[in-house]
Structure 1
Amino acid sequence: MTTASDTAREAALLRIARQRQAAKRDGAAHEAAAGPAGPAPLSSAQRRMWLMDRLGGSGAAYHVPFATRVRGPFDPQALGRALTALVRRHEVLRTRYGQCDGEPYQEATDAAPVPVEVVPAEGDAAELLREAAARPFDLTGGPVLRALVVRHAAEDHTVLLTLHHIAIDGGSLAVVARELSTLYGAAVGGDEALSGTLPGPAPQYADFARREHAAMDVLESGLEYWLRRLAGARPVPLPAPAAGSGAAARRGEAALLAEPLPPAVLEGLRATGREHRSTLFTVVLAAAYATVLAATGSTDLVLGCASSHRDRADVRDLVGLCVNTLPVRVDAQDAGVFGELLDRVRDALLEAQQHRDVPFDLIVERLGAAARGADGQPLVDVTADVVRAPIALDLPGLVSEPVEIDLGTAKFGLGFYVEEDRSDGGPPRCLVQYDRARLDEPTARQLLRGFADLLAAVAANPGHPLPEAGVRAAHPAELFLRDRPEVAEAVLLETDGGRPLAYVVPSGVGTLEPMGLRAALRSRLAPELVPAAVTVLDALPRTADGTVDHARLPGAPASAAPVIAGGPREQAVLEAFSELLGRRPAPDADFFLLGGHSLMAVQLADRLRERLGLPLTGLDVMEHRSPRAIAALLDGRDQERAAALAAVRTAARPATPAHGASRTTAARTGTVLVTGATGGVGSFVLRELAARGIPVRALARPESAHLLAADGIEVAEGDLSDPDSLRAAAAGADAVIHAACTFTSPEVDLAAMRAVLDGWRRGAFVFVSSVDAYGQPPVTDVTAETPPAGPFTAYGRAKLDCERMLLEAAGTGGRGGATVARVPIVWGPHARLRDQLRWGATGQFFQAARGGEPIELPARDRGWYGAPWVHGAALARALVSCVERPSGGVVNTVGGHVDWRDFAAELIRLLGSSSEIHATHAGPADDQHPAPSPDFLLHHRRRYRPAAALAGELAERPGEDWRSVLAAMLKH
């Protein structure tokens, strides 16, 4: 007899078959239309995104959140199918970004289902959405698109798509919204295959990048124009933040100020534009110039604006990054009224647009040191734009409205904006967004006030006189020195080739020591704001009117005393500079003035990190700039590292051997390779190995290698998707702890295991597997001897297959013994483990408790239900013990079990939540054939017995009980 479940299973199989057939048809169509297969170069715009990611300073500045509130009968599964079809159609949405010989490339991966996570709302869900949108991307492995649905009520949801800017721009967002609407409608309507829903194959961004790369030679004439146009240009001299106000802010950390505009102002600005043959945008850009002119007194100004390539038919429907930055240089000298300045801005903008095909990053690279000021600030750090209401994801059958998400990041030091319309129907506003490391709030508010007043004035009268130029604010170092009791007077002298020089006159109170003043400056100000030297004078030279005569200040750069070369670390930095720059620099020479640029900063950091074994990023190079300053930074990090390792050894070593077991304290002579070293498990393993004095080789991607550089740790750069790097990393090791996995790509995990086994030639091998490898055995108590039984999740099946490969290879070809450590949920105060708590299978508990929503427990049909868990430190002790004493088989590394009701109650207590716990009442589950699902983990009804041989290592130590570690995870 055919049952309902049989019918459902047949329908599911038929649906999968149709999807596979559709994928094959779509794939054939793409192959027919696509250009050369395989890796492609990055476009210039993508290259900038990649560099910012590698430099380590972009944070969430290049995340693109696309959120929509939808009301009505929303179907998350249909959205998942539509997103999967969209990602299959546009390769850039499933592209990874690798590196070969220092140069980046892009390569599309196979299409995989796009998971759609559904979580309950927390109040208005604003903080939840911001937190989800700010989660970092991994450009090396992907994905560059993720989806989250926040459930407010049965027919009220917020859909959040977060993408990385490397794969999308504003024009692409409109394409994505349009196509996703069509695909969702088809998915809801029953078109499971979604084949033929959209017309023809889509254009592919890799082809756009190849065309741009091939056309670089023909851009030479346009490049020559820009080099002439920008010759001698300097960055806008923004008023420096007051002492102490900007130093605490991270670069790129933004604040936004707004002021409403009377509705008549916008129409007046449009009328002003018509009178001067200009668009509203050009009028706003001219107002930004006028505001900066008044604030700085500088009349030779370069502002940046965005330019799109989407007016060409071949890129109109292209998903990808098709924008460029235009540097617009305007001479405002003797422009007495706004209308005259507007004419100059219009002409300069039109001229710039004639050469907009030249990538801005190519211009910056060719300008070299001229692309930055003496203080390291970029040439284009001020921008302006007209902002329109964000688009919404218009899904059929639903009422949609856009949701704005402010991630608090800034791509420019200062931005002037005018809202042309607003999604909430409110009045237009003028906005000032600023980087808090570049400006302080009082200065930003003055700029906003001046901008708003000017807009209102020129809307009524284009002949409005330009405001008089103001006086620049004092340098923060000068303000700091003036506040010191031992200093009577202080002044700074700007130099052409580096940081300013400071001059002070003693007050007679206390002792004035130049070295002490510089140390105090370094402790209070950002590195780029610290003067190169502090000189003590009896009195400052004065002009006839009593002002300081800067021309008579002693100690000009040309007369400075010769610098004596430093120690071995400084010599190593100088050598690396020499190799990349082709000449040996002076110890205090400026990186940018020597011809350095962003990619070279990344290369220099990689080289020094590899040679010196100390953490260093490209952003560190760009901020500290001189060999001497970089060497001093590395010296400081060496001291911090030594102190941290000493603390780790003290904290990690037990006072007495557990359960009477003897623990060796002798350092091993062999090196242990640890994969997954930057993850939660890996971090605890590294601590334990350091505590036992065991030398380590840590596998890490190039962009995160600096996180692992410490004494005793050799970094092997590599990736799970790069078999050659895995083989090379394993080849020289005396033992392996393989803790890395993708969680979502079983085929990558299997290939990675094969590669590591190929390189493994001696010593022990410990594989961090999962209790998912047991599948669904028909017993309640599960031991290492319990045979696995289906059905399996894809993740569990991959772990089981990797285990079999390892146990077959153990003991052959000189290899040592192998241990398979089956691991449950791992808990501990680490960022990766914290994210698992908040967004993984337990995330539905956490999000509900944080939002005060009811916590729905899984159906409880009999006895105990919950999940096994282990503390990261206990697991690390067990894994390292298995390296020293291989078991030759499978061991369970379980620290304990937690009941879901107890877990939920503790979450409520720790979060101070008003949530109530509700148990779902359902019929008995079929243990033999449960359907794997996203909440599969919550339905564990089995207890996993830990290995007796590891009881000492797995035993709880102070602070390792589940309540204590849960509290610690919520604090970090």
Structure 2
Amino acid sequence: MCLVEGWGHEARHARVRQLLRERQARNAAHSYPLSATQQGIWLADTLNPGISGYHDVAQVELQGHLDTGRLRRALAAVMRRHEALRARIETDDDVPMQIFDRQIPAIETVDLCGRAADRQERHVDRLVGIAATEPFALDVGPLWRGLLIRLDERRHLLVLVVHHLIGDGESHNLVWRDLLRGYADPLLPAVTGYGDWLRTRVAQEDAAVARAQKVADRAAQSPRRLDLPGCGADDGDRRAHVVPVPVAADDWEAFLARASGGGVTLFSALLGLFGVELAERTGAPVTLAVPLSQRWRQSEGADLAGCMVDLLPTIVEGGSDDIAVGQTAWTQALEGFDVPYREIARLLSSRTGRTDDPVTNVAVEQFNVDMSPRDVAGLRVIPRPRSHLRVRHDLTLTVFHDRTPPQLLVPRSRWDLAMLDEFAMSIADRITRTR
């Protein structure tokens, strides 16, 4: 029975359709597409929530008198400043879109005062491990969380876990910079334009898809997933193990001087050296995945936190001059800068039938996070090394922006660590010979 006169089935259906159109119009105005990189991350985390390797864990020790209320206000100011920190991912007809409407999450606080140092450190490690792997509700958001651990009266540990859907290496620097600025002065101005950047980036990717076939054809000419001696079958455990490259200080300084004297960046010099080492071991060119920030294409993106990175397939062939080889490989790779890595992987996957990354299982990354201590409003802020990482590639060379020697990063459970140590020593010997 109709409860309101004149409100029959046709009128109800028309009203429902009108409401749906209004909702879609509102969503279209306030939602933004995912870049190709974000689409890949979203899919991986949907399949393996919490352990997909896309949680960035950052820790700083705060020494001195901490005003926790002031810290919370600073976190709120940073969240107001950066749209990405307010994001959640909503699906409409199975298409993921991002909406920036979340409020600051509750910051969990744990008091470990009075515990013995060894017990305290074990408890800290367990707490950070839980925070690092707890899945985010992508459709609810926000896609970051904070944990404040009180170690004693004048020492706290602040842990931020940020999903890579909303952040990258440069975002790491921006968020910490603005958090410390906000602690000193919570009246941080907002920065806008991330949503506009996303729409522009997606348009650039769409326009570059036609060139993906050329990049995929070139990548197909080299062995893509390397059979690395000492690396066993994938057991699904991607927890990271770090091995420093043991190069002597004077040899490292000489290597830096040679690269600088040749007008070559440290990154491209080490990329070439690492790639040539692998090429000689396998007897063929190698393809390396290199994360590259997209910010420099749009100047207004320089100050924005967000997922503004893509992988660049970089093919390295053997040669007598490692540094020159790296420069050449990097220059050629940049020709495909706009081509989405996900599209290249899709094209190669159709040839190989692989369900994992068909492009490469080896990477070179640049770690740009500033790890130097600093003083802010009566606090001594000391960054802690990365921990509880999960890695996507079987072997990664990490290059540091502060010009310290590189490291190898691998999923620990898959590697014979003695073989890995031998590989790190071989890289160190090559640095020494290249000086």
TM-score range, shorter chain: 0.7 to 0.9
Determine if the alignment matches structure 1 residue 230 to structure 2 residue 219. Answer: yes
Q: Is the 8 A contact 2:128 2:159 kept in 1?
A: yes
Determine if the alignment matches structure 1 residue 211 to structure 2 residue 200. Answer: yes
Give TM-score, length-normalised by structure 1. 0.39
- In structure 2, relative to structure 1, the CA distance for the partners of 1:250 and 1:113 (3 Å cut) is closer
Give the corresponding residue for 1:254: 240
Query: How far is 1:163 from its partner?
Result: 1.0
What is the root-mean-square deviation of aligned Cα atoms in Å?
2.8
Give the corresponding residue for 1:280: 266
Determine if the alignment matches structure 1 residue 307 to structure 2 residue 292. Answer: yes
Q: Which runs of 5+ in 1 are unaligned?
A: 1-34, 188-196, 423-427, 460-972
Give the corresponding residue for 1:435: 411
2:197 partner letter: F
1:198 partner letter: L
Give the corresponding residue for 1:611: none
Query: How far is 1:320 from its partner?
Result: 0.1
1:119 partner letter: D
CA distance in 2, matches of 1:419, 1:316: 20
Q: For residue 398 of structure 2, give the secondary structure of its aligned residue in structure 1.
A: strand
Query: How far is 1:161 from its partner?
Result: 1.4
Determine if the alignment matches structure 1 residue 317 to structure 2 residue 303. Answer: yes
Query: How far is 1:318 from its partner?
Result: 0.9
Determine if the alignment matches structure 1 residue 358 to structure 2 residue 339. Answer: yes
Query: How far is 1:302 from its partner?
Result: 0.7
CA distance in 1, matches of 2:140, 2:128: 23
Give the corresponding residue for 2:21: none
2:427 partner letter: F
Q: Is the 8 A contact 2:170 2:369 kept in 1?
A: no
Give the corresponding residue for 1:415: 396
Give the corresponding residue for 1:198: 188
Q: Tell me which of 423, 427, 432 is aligned to 1:456.
A: 432
Query: How far is 1:254 from its partner?
Result: 2.7
2:131 partner letter: A
Q: Is the 8 A contact 1:239 1:443 kept in 2?
A: no
Q: Tell me which of 359, 363, 367 is aligned to 1:379.
A: 359
Q: Is the 8 A contact 2:241 2:410 kept in 1?
A: yes
CA distance in 2, matches of 1:72, 1:365: 52
Alignment of 1:489-638 (within 5 A): none
CA distances 1:763-790 after superposition (whole Å, capped 9, x unpaired): xxxxxxxxxxxxxxxxxxxxxxxxxxxx
CA distances 1:441-487 after superposition (whole Å, capped 9, x unpaired): 2332222121121112212xxxxxxxxxxxxxxxxxxxxxxxxxxxx
Q: For residue 279 of structure 2, give the secondary structure of its aligned residue in structure 1.
A: helix
- In structure 2, relative to structure 1, the CA distance for the partners of 1:60 and 1:225 (3 Å cut) is closer
Alignment of 1:627-706 (within 5 A): none
1:417 partner letter: T
Query: How far is 1:437 from its partner?
Result: 5.9
Aligned residues: 400
2:85 partner letter: L
Moved runs in structure 1, 4+ residues, more than 6 A? none
CA distance in 2, matches of 1:273, 1:429: 14
Q: Is the 8 A contact 2:102 2:142 kept in 1?
A: no
- In structure 2, relative to structure 1, the CA distance for the partners of 1:418 and 1:344 (3 Å cut) is closer
**Higher relative contact order, structure no. (Cα contacts within 8 Å, ≥ 6 residues apart):** 2
Query: How far is 1:221 from its partner?
Result: 5.2
- In structure 2, relative to structure 1, the CA distance for the partners of 1:162 and 1:395 (3 Å cut) is farther
Give the corresponding residue for 1:476: none
Give TM-score, length-normalised by structure 2. 0.82
Query: How far is 1:166 from its partner?
Result: 0.8
Query: How far is 1:94 from its partner?
Result: 1.9
CA distances 1:337-367 after superposition (whole Å, capped 9, x unpaired): 2x1x432331221122233122211222233
Determine if the alignment matches structure 1 residue 82 to structure 2 residue 74. Answer: yes
CA distance in 2, matches of 1:254, 1:131: 16
2:387 partner letter: D
Give the corresponding residue for 2:386: 405
Q: Is the 8 A contact 2:245 2:427 kept in 1?
A: no
Query: How far is 1:134 from its partner?
Result: 2.8
CA distance in 2, matches of 1:374, 1:203: 40
- In structure 2, relative to structure 1, the CA distance for the partners of 1:128 and 1:367 (3 Å cut) is same
Query: How far is 1:206 from its partner?
Result: 2.6
- In structure 2, relative to structure 1, the CA distance for the partners of 1:215 and 1:305 (3 Å cut) is closer
Query: How far is 1:270 from its partner?
Result: 2.1
Give the corresponding residue for 1:138: 137
Give the corresponding residue for 1:659: none
Q: Is the 8 A contact 1:171 1:310 kept in 2?
A: no
Q: Is the 8 A contact 1:95 1:109 kept in 2?
A: yes
Q: Is the 8 A contact 2:252 2:405 kept in 1?
A: no
Query: How far is 1:167 from its partner?
Result: 0.7
- In structure 2, relative to structure 1, the CA distance for the partners of 1:132 and 1:225 (3 Å cut) is same
- In structure 2, relative to structure 1, the CA distance for the partners of 1:60 and 1:126 (3 Å cut) is farther
Query: How far is 1:60 from its partner?
Result: 5.8
Higher strand share: 2
2:71 partner letter: L
- In structure 2, relative to structure 1, the CA distance for the partners of 1:58 and 1:236 (3 Å cut) is farther
Q: Which runs of 5+ in 2 are unaligned?
A: 1-26, 114-118
Q: Is the 8 A contact 1:126 1:405 kept in 2?
A: no
Alignment of 1:870-949 (within 5 A): none
Alignment of 1:469-488 (within 5 A): none
Query: How far is 1:275 from its partner?
Result: 5.0
- In structure 2, relative to structure 1, the CA distance for the partners of 1:99 and 1:240 (3 Å cut) is farther
CA distances 1:175-199 after superposition (whole Å, capped 9, x unpaired): 2122222222235xxxxxxxxx234
Identical amino acids, percent of aligned pairs = 26
Query: How far is 1:152 from its partner?
Result: 1.4
Q: Is the 8 A contact 1:389 1:421 kept in 2?
A: no
CA distance in 1, matches of 2:168, 2:130: 21
1:230 partner letter: A
CA distance in 1, matches of 2:432, 2:39: 40
